[in-house]
Structure 1
Amino acid sequence: MTMIGVLGGMGPLATVDFMEKVINLTRAESDQQHLPMMVANLPQIPDRSRSILSGDEAPLPYLLKGIDLLNRNEVGLIAIPCNSSHHWYAQMCARSAAPVLHIAETCVAAVPAGVSRTAVLATRGALASGFYQRSLAARDIEPVVPDDATQHTLDTCIRDIKAGRLAEGSAALADVLATLADGGVQAAIMGCTEIPVAARQIGATAFPLIDSTLELARATMMYATTRGWNRF
């Protein structure tokens, strides 16, 4: 049996959100028609954003140990439902025996046609790493990074979701989206996997929101089902 490997725990709610989306995307009429997953839920991995901003490599040994764990279980694909960890994507790919999906590439590919200005909603570390900005620019889409005050509100949203304060996190995200709408962005990438959790309680928005967790889940499901991993 070939399994999907999930390097998770960053944070735990985001990991569960990813798994639920893979399940919901999979066409199945019985347990046996769903995709097998090996989930390494490792919440003790040091804060990725803080390390990127300070220039240290504290998360990397933990990330590589997670890859090793999935390697030992012979998974056929690895998905990592944490955006900031993709700062170390090259090192994780070099360690992995299986292909590793890149969350930003799957997400940027979902930007609607005709959109020329897209906001990147992410941790300060992911923004400093720049992988979303590079992926958007490669498709001739202007990346819009929030100003410091808006980013501060987004930081609050992410902290609230990690702490289980879902209503507070959703309210903070709503404030961010209102500010961006006034700035004329045409779409926004939810480039931190806590943000889609916050977005669940928000109604209609002025522009499309691209869910990095959903796009990663969609790419994961497509990769696995086209190879028949859900055929019992």
Structure 2
Amino acid sequence: MIESVKRLERAGADFILIACNTAHFFLENVRHSTHIPIMNMPLETANYLNKHHYTSVGLLCTDGTLKTQLYQKACAHHKIDVMTPSENLQKNVMNGIYAVKAGKLSKGESELALAAEILINQGAEAIIAGCTEIPLVLRSTKDVKVIDPTVILAKEAVKLVYELEKLNI
């Protein structure tokens, strides 16, 4: 990742986005290797949740993202409770993610929808789709609001581009 960031810096990038949720675990180390800003997807997501007055959300993500507590730490800053699947339910989440990666979208959707429904029933106001594969099959319904960190990051990047243009940078 550091070499990729250095390559982008040499190419003249104004800022960097990292689309992979789990890769944000390495964000601070990568930031020390460059002078250009790197946007933080979990933090931007937490800011969005705070702005929209969420107090309790469910998190569906990979085991790696879950263990690193990227979203839990970012949301704690705003006193937003992040509910996570039980150990057994997390297996369904991973099965769903692997199914999507394998192109088995209906299997992936059923595994992930089950996990989302359980977290909603436990009190989550919305579900963070904390893996880029999840929003491919899990969408908001009348019962479940799905928060897509990739979309939030993209929208914030567009805002940043407009700000840089105003400053003629």
After TM superposition, is the score higher than 0.5?
yes
Deviation at 1:103, TM superposition (A): 0.4
1:115-154 to structure 2, matched below 5 A, reads: 115-154=54-93
**CA separation in 2, counterparts of 1:205 and 1:69?**
44
Tell me the residue number matched to 1:98.
36
State the SS of the aligned residue for 1:139. coil
Mapped pair 1:216 → 2:153: yes
Contact 2:58/2:116 (8 A) holds in 1: no
**CA separation in 2, counterparts of 1:80 and 1:163?**
23
**CA separation in 2, counterparts of 1:224 and 1:86?**
21
Mapped pair 1:225 → 2:162: yes
1:161-172 to structure 2, matched below 5 A, reads: 161-172=100-111
User: Which of the pair has the greater relative contact order for Cα pairs under 8 Å at 6+ separation?
Assistant: 1
Mapped pair 1:191 → 2:130: yes
What letter matches 2:93 in structure 1?
L
Mapped pair 1:110 → 2:43: no
**CA separation in 1, counterparts of 2:19 and 2:95?**
20
Deviation at 1:187, TM superposition (A): 1.5
Deviation at 1:114, TM superposition (A): 3.8
Tell me the residue number matched to 1:45.
none
**Contiguous gaps of at least 5 residues in structure 1:** 1-62
State the SS of the aligned residue for 2:132. coil
How many residues were matched structurally? Answer: 166
Point out 4+ residue stretches in structure 1 off by more than 4 angstroms.
none
Contact 1:196/1:213 (8 A) holds in 2: no
Deviation at 1:78, TM superposition (A): 0.1
Contact 2:83/2:119 (8 A) holds in 1: no
- Assess, with a 3 A threshold, how the Cα gap between structure 1 residues 203 and 98 changes in structure 2: closer, same or farther: closer
**CA separation in 2, counterparts of 1:115 and 1:207?**
13
Tell me the residue number matched to 1:86.
24
Higher helix share: 2
1:169-184 to structure 2, matched below 5 A, reads: 169-184=108-123
Deviation at 1:224, TM superposition (A): 0.9
Pairwise CA RMSD = 1.9
What letter matches 1:108 in structure 2?
A
After superposition, what is the alpha-carbon deviation per residue over 1:33-87, rounded to whole angstroms, capped at 9, x for unaligned?
A: xxxxxxxxxxxxxxxxxxxxxxxxxxxxxx1121122122110010000000011
State the SS of the aligned residue for 1:109. helix
What letter matches 1:81 in structure 2?
A
- TM-score (norm: length of structure 2): 0.89
State the SS of the aligned residue for 1:188. strand
- TM-score (norm: length of structure 1): 0.66
- Assess, with a 3 A threshold, how the Cα gap between structure 1 residues 66 and 80 changes in structure 2: closer, same or farther: same
